[in-house]
């Protein structure tokens, strides 16, 4: 049996073949599609069926697609898990090292989703980046208003709300009358009565302010329209292929239409990839890392994980911890007593990841009654703890 290791770069692919005793000469291929096909022909001529490669940025994707269509057994590996020793690293040795590890069955493959999940993932990730750009444009427009002396952003709760955007449109159109601008602001009755709103809308809007504001608003509208088109694509895929999973996920407090689609896109909606809920939490990056030496824990910080799913779960945790009657709200309040709010929020996010794993595994809706039930062993431990505390308090001198 022969194995091959690929060290993939932007413009080159280093290929090493290992037969258990010696390496063949390391071949270098370009990253054009035709060159990748030639790589497949070379591997086939060498009698190779198993191929491993590092997950280097996005450069591995076309290599994976073409070689998988040619029938090779592929493994994608996290580069962190196959690091070479310092001073012994080169592109040739990296390819040989990967081939040797694959031959000895010492590689752990990464999760590679199906084509339909990859399509959904491309839409959700693009939508997430568009939302970040929309937020930046809202901040930019607010900064332009501040430069012109208009401080409406200090009185409204959302600088992307109807009131803010209506005032911006009026200013771009040339409106300068404060009374007319006040009519465009919804609610805010207290500030209208005490005159703060009129003071906030009184400024010195010059021509260059108006021009910059018009350019920023045009870009904002373009981004909003693009985000809407991406949402249509996301909803279409989820409706036709993952409607049941999405409806079940939305039973969790804090989970919305978009966040449920992100969970499906990033996890693949198939929990067979993850052995248990702890594996999923570790893959997301919500589980404390193992850093123990001589019986002492050096660090309990969470690990790096999926940079798209982790922020979404933290946002869900934030919403769930503020939902009335939610178990997560009660749990967050109890955790916040003995640890910081940020650590408590991460703990809630990890609990939600466990709920997600169970829902997608059993395909049953979220049952809040199950969350409040303690295991008998944990319940007895809590009772003993409080009994000891009561005895300690009773012994204190008055």
Helix (H) or strand (E) holding 297: strand 296-297
Contact 15, 29 (CB under 8 A): yes
Structure tokens at 84: 């070479």
Tens digits of residue pLDDT in 181-228? 988 988 777 777 788 888 999 988 899 999 999 999 999 999 999 999
Contact 353, 280 (CB under 8 A): yes
CA distances 325 to 155, 274, 369, 372, Å, are 31, 31, 11, 12
Tens digits of residue pLDDT in 271-307? 988 888 888 998 899 887 766 666 666 667 777 888 8
Tens digits of residue pLDDT in 129-141? 999 999 999 999 9
Distance CA 60, CA 99 (A): 16
Residues facing residue 12 across a β-bridge: 30
What pLDDT shows up at residue 254?
92
Which domains, and CATH codes, for the chain?
2-103 (3.30.420.10), 116-241 (1.10.287), 248-293+301-370 (no CATH)
Residues facing residue 18 across a β-bridge: 3, 23
What pLDDT shows up at residue 330?
87
Residue by residue, pLDDT tens for the chain (398 residues) are 899 999 899 999 999 998 888 888 888 999 999 999 999 999 999 889 899 998 888 888 999 999 998 989 999 988 777 776 566 678 888 888 888 888 888 888 888 888 899 999 999 999 999 999 999 999 999 999 999 999 998 888 889 999 999 999 999 999 888 889 988 988 777 777 788 888 999 988 899 999 999 999 999 999 999 999 999 999 999 999 999 999 999 999 999 999 999 999 999 988 988 888 888 998 899 887 766 666 666 667 777 888 899 999 999 999 999 988 888 998 899 888 888 999 999 999 999 999 999 999 999 999 876 665 555 776 788 888 889 989 888 888 66
What pLDDT shows up at residue 122?
94
What pLDDT shows up at residue 138?
96
Distance CA 43, CA 17 (A): 8
Structure tokens at 390: 């009561």
Helix (H) or strand (E) holding 75: strand 73-77
What single-letter DSSP state applies at residue 8?
E
- Work out the number of other CB atoms within 10 angstroms of the CB of residue 116: 14
Distance CA 122, CA 134 (A): 18
């Amino acid at each position: 049996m022969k194995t091959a290791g690929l060290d993939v770069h932007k413009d080159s692919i280093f290929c090493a073949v290992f037969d258990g005793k010696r390496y063949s000469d390391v071949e270098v291929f370009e990253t054009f599609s035709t060159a990748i096909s030639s790589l497949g022909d070379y591997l086939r001529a060498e009698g190779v069926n198993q191929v491993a490669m590092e997950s280097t940025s996005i450069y591995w994707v076309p290599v994976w697609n073409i070689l998988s269509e040619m029938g090779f057994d592929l493994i994608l590996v996290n580069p962190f898990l196959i690091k070479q020793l310092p001073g012994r690293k080169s592109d040739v040795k990296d390819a040989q090292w990967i081939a040797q590890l694959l031959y000895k069955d010492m590689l752990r493959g990464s999760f590679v989703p199906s084509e339909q999940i990859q399509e959904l993932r491309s839409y959700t990730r693009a939508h997430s980046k568009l939302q970040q750009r929309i937020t930046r444009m809202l901040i930019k427009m607010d900064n332009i208003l501040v430069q012109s002396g208009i401080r409406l952003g200090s009185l409204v709760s959302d600088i992307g709300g109807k009131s803010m955007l209506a005032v911006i449109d009026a200013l771009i159109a040339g409106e300068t009358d404060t009374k007319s601008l006040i009519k465009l602001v919804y609610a805010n009755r207290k500030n209208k009565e005490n005159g703060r709103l009129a003071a906030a809308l009184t400024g010195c809007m010059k021509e260059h302010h108006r021009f910059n504001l018009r350019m920023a608003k045009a870009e904002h509208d373009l981004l909003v329209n693009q985000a809407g088109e991406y949402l249509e694509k996301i909803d279409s895929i989820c409706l036709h292929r993952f409607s049941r999973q999405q409806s079940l996920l939305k039973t969790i407090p804090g989970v919305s239409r978009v966040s449920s689609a992100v969970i499906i896109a990033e996890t693949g909606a198939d929990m067979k990839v993850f052995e248990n809920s702890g594996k999923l939490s570790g893959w997301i990056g919500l589980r404390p890392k193992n850093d123990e030496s001589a019986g002492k824990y050096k660090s309990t910080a969470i690990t790096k994980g999926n940079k798209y799913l982790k922020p979404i779960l933290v946002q869900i945790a934030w919403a769930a911890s503020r939902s009335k009657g939610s178990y997560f709200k009660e749990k967050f309040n109890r955790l916040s007593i003995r640890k910081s709010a940020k650590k408590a929020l991460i703990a809630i996010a990890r609990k939600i990841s466990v709920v997600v794993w169970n829902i997608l595994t059993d395909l049953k809706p979220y049952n809040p009654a199950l969350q409040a039930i303690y295991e008998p062993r944990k319940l007895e431990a809590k009772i003993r703890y409080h009994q000891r505390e009561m005895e300690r308090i009773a012994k204190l001198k008055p």
